[in-house]
Amino acid sequence: MTAKRFFDTNVVIYAYDDSEPTKQAVARSLLLNAAATATGVISTQVLGEFFHATVVRRPLLTVANARTALRALSRLHVATIPPSLVERAVDLHERFQLRYWDALIIATAKHEGCDEVLSEDMNHGQNYDGVRVTNPFLVPAMPT
């Protein structure tokens, strides 16, 4: 069985960012492979951050295009975030000195059985409580 991978928001954004064609190609390839193999995981947090980042913070997409992208991203497994994961994120924040939102990504990934989080923002190679962070833009993007 292929390991599950959690996609951090920044990787998802690159799939829709024409200003970074190399990163866009890597992100799209990873997302397409994850959808085809049912190994990709995101969360409702990622969907919300994606919308805000691509429509409000840095307008890459129209609302209509973002809505279409959100539907496409929902082909991945989308984890919801119960209060127990918020508490776990606080523990991870305290233990590893992570930003809360990154700690929530790690907590959700672990809860969903992911071995890896794909992220450009967290420490590449770091193992957070059994979840390894990989920056897919630093290493060859090899779907697993």
Q: Domain spans of the chain?
A: 5-124
- Per-residue pLDDT, 1: 54
Q: Give tens-digit pLDDT for 41-83.
A: 999 999 999 999 999 999 999 999 999 999 999 999 999 999 9
Q: Give tens-digit pLDDT for 7-48.
A: 999 999 999 999 999 999 999 999 999 999 999 999 999 999
Level-2 CATH architecture, domain 5-124 = 3-Layer(aba) Sandwich (3.40)
- Per-residue pLDDT, 107: 98
- Per-residue pLDDT, 2: 73
DSSP codes joined into one string, 41-93: EEEHHHHHHHHIIIIIIS--S-HHHHHHHHHHHTTSEEE---HHHHHHHHHHH
Hey, is 138 helix, strand or coil? coil
Q: Taking the chain, what is the end-to-end CA distance rounded to the nearest angstrom?
A: 10
Hey, is 40 helix, strand or coil? strand
Q: Left (φ > 0), alpha (ψ -120 to 50) or beta: where does 143 sit?
A: beta
Is residue 120 over pLDDT 70? yes
